[in-house]
């Protein structure tokens, strides 16, 4: 398996050349170099990574690591916000060159909470809700998916989660439901729950809507979050599997180590993931 150092080095080279690669200069015109239109996976950040940071700090940190897609958490925009407040927050993110592509993770334990989550997501103006409805609410959630035409990506949370410990626990309950009922695969929690990531990607490709990318130091229940590439996950094999299924969603880093001093680890993780992808 290629070394971590090689990936980080290749990522650095790629970043330094970003402004040069897409265009080839010719006399009196600039022509786009189509050969550089390589199939690339798109990075993002899961909002929980910024639980200890303000909206403004979040924007600054994301710009520092050059990642501009964010799944919006309610600590930056409460679920009961009116449209004026929503527009204000979205304007701040837009001014900071941050694209809000989804809401969540949003937990739902009643029909009223399902209603609120879908109404909130519609007001934010995105078509993907990362959420965790209880088993009893899945049929009602499916009804709202149809009503709002908003996809839901149900998040797995590891061995200690009584609802959805692994991705199979999600898939088995939604596989015969509306095609807009899918999975937000948290790869760190999935590995802690004993899942084979490449098999998960292949087997559940039709329902794989979003990814929360983290590494863990052990493939067991008590495995701890760590910078990408320093743990047990085989990222080259995982990325290869995503390319095989032509994955179209975001690859969002969810950084959960040193969460009150997260920027160094986020930057290292983003650089590593870019290196693997390239």
CATH number of the domain that residue 115 is part of: 3.20.20.150
The tokens for 263 are 């920027």
**pLDDT above 80: residue 19:** no
Looking at the DSSP assignment, which residues form a beta bridge with residue 32?
23
**Residue 177 within any structural domain of the chain:** yes
pLDDT, mean of residues 252-273: 98
**Residue 10 within any structural domain of the chain:** no
**Residue 32 within any structural domain of the chain:** no
Per the CB < 8 A criterion, the answer to whether 214 and 255 are in contact is yes
**pLDDT above 50: residue 23:** no
Percent of the chain topping pLDDT 90? 85
Domains of the chain: total: 1
**pLDDT above 50: residue 261:** yes
pLDDT of residue 26: 28
More confident residue, 241 or 37: 241
**Residue 16 within any structural domain of the chain:** no
Domain span at 155: 39-277
The tokens for 20 are 């040069």
**Residue 252 within any structural domain of the chain:** yes
pLDDT, mean of residues 223-245: 98
Report CA-CA distances (Å) from 132 to 71, 150, 192, 221: 15, 15, 19, 20
Please give the full DSSP string across 9-63, using - where no structure is assigned.
HHHHHHHHTTTTTTEEEETTEEEE-GGG-----EEEEEGGGGTTS-HHHHHHHHH
pLDDT of residue 47: 98
Report CA-CA distances (Å) from 37 to 20, 21, 34, 73, 95: 13, 10, 5, 32, 27
pLDDT in tens, 80-89: 999 999 999 9
Report CA-CA distances (Å) from 25 to 29, 107, 130, 201: 7, 51, 43, 40
Per the CB < 8 A criterion, the answer to whether 43 and 251 are in contact is yes
**Residue 29 within any structural domain of the chain:** no
Report CA-CA distances (Å) from 157 to 121, 124, 141, 163: 22, 25, 19, 8
pLDDT of residue 257: 96
Closest-CA residue to 113 (of 131, 100, 90, 127): 131
**Residue 25 within any structural domain of the chain:** no
**Residue 251 within any structural domain of the chain:** yes
């Amino acid at each position: 398996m290629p070394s971590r150092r090689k990936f980080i080095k290749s990522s650095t080279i790629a970043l330094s050349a970003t402004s040069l690669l897409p265009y080839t200069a010719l006399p009196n015109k600039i022509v786009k170099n189509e050969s550089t239109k390589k199939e690339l996976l798109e990075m993002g950040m899961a909002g929980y990574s910024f639980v200890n940071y303000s909206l403004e700090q979040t924007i600054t940190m994301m710009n520092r690591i050059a990642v501009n897609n964010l799944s919006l958490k309610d600590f930056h925009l409460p679920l009961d916000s009116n449209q004026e407040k929503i527009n204000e927050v979205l304007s701040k993110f837009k001014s900071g060159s941050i694209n809000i592509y989804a809401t969540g993770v949003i937990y739902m334990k009643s029909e009223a909470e399902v209603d609120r989550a879908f109404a909130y997501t519609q007001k934010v103006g995105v078509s993907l809700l990362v959420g965790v409805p209880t088993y009893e609410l899945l049929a009602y959630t499916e009804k709202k998916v149809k009503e709002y035409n908003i996809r839901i990506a149900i998040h797995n949370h590891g061995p200690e989660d009584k609802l959805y410990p692994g991705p199979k626990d999600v898939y088995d309950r939604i596989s015969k439901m509306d095609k807009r009922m899918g999975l937000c695969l948290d790869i760190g929690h999935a590995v802690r729950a004993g899942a084979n990531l490449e098999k998960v990607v292949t087997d559940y490709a039709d329902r794989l809507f979003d990814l929360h990318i983290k590494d863990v130091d052990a493939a067991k229940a008590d495995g701890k979050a760590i910078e990408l590439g320093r743990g047990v996950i085989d990222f080259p094999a995982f990325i290869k599997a995503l390319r095989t299924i032509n994955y179209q969603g975001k690859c969002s880093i969810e950084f959960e180590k040193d969460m009150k001093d997260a920027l160094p680890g986020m930057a290292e993780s983003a650089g590593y993931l870019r290196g693997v992808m390239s």
